[in-house]
Amino acid sequence: MKRVLILCTGNSCRSQMAEGIINQALAGEWSAVSAGTEPAGYVHPQALEAMAEIGIVTDGMLSKHVGQFVDQPFDAVVTVCDSAAESCPMWFGMGKVYHQPYFDPAKAQGTPDEVMAVFRQVRDQIREELPALLQRHSATA
């Protein structure tokens, strides 16, 4: 099974959603973990809600520091925010690095329904794009 590391700054929204989506959509082919360069220390409740809406089990999801994965091999590394792409450590050179930025839904403003709509939009973009990216990677690797 191939392994992918999803990197973001806080590891509370986008990278967590990507981890859950990849592990659901590509089960048996890819195993995803996520981490942050400056972890928030929690997973955003609305990210958890957005994942639960599409049947992703979120029990046990934790905000993790990228340092936990220093000595682990990955087939691919995907940065989902510009900050993580800029600080992506060179020691991840063993896997192909992709940059696929998404708007940070934690920065959304408005009513609770409007904010939740942004979380759903980002979730759906991730669900559409990242599994396809990893399948293309598998086809060319």
Q: Specify the CATH number for the domain of residue 97.
A: 3.40.50.2300
Burial 68-86 (b: 16+ CB within 10 A, else e): ebeeeebbbbbbbbebbbe
Active-site pick, 81, 85, 122, 130: 81
Residue 35 lies in a domain: yes
**pLDDT tens, position by position, 37-88:** 899 999 999 999 999 999 999 998 999 999 899 888 999 999 998 665 555 5
Choose the catalytic residue: 47, 88, 122, 130. Answer: 88
Q: What are phi and psi of 117, to 5 degrees?
A: -60, -35
In a domain, 140, yes or no: no
- On whether residue 139 sits in a domain, the answer given is no
Ranked by mean pLDDT, the top range of 34-43, 91-100, 116-125 is 116-125
Gap between the Cα atoms of 82 and 49, Å rounded = 24
pLDDT digits (tens, 9 = 90+) for 4-32: 999 998 999 999 999 999 999 999 999 99
Which two tokens mark 46? Answer: 């609305």
Supply the range of the domain harboring residue 6: 2-132
Q: Is residue 138 part of a domain?
A: no
Question: Is 128 buried (19+), middle (13-18) or exposed (0-12) by CB count in 10 A?
Answer: exposed
| 81 is annotated as an active-site residue | yes
**Number of domains composing the chain:** 1
What is the pTM (predicted TM-score) of this model? 0.92
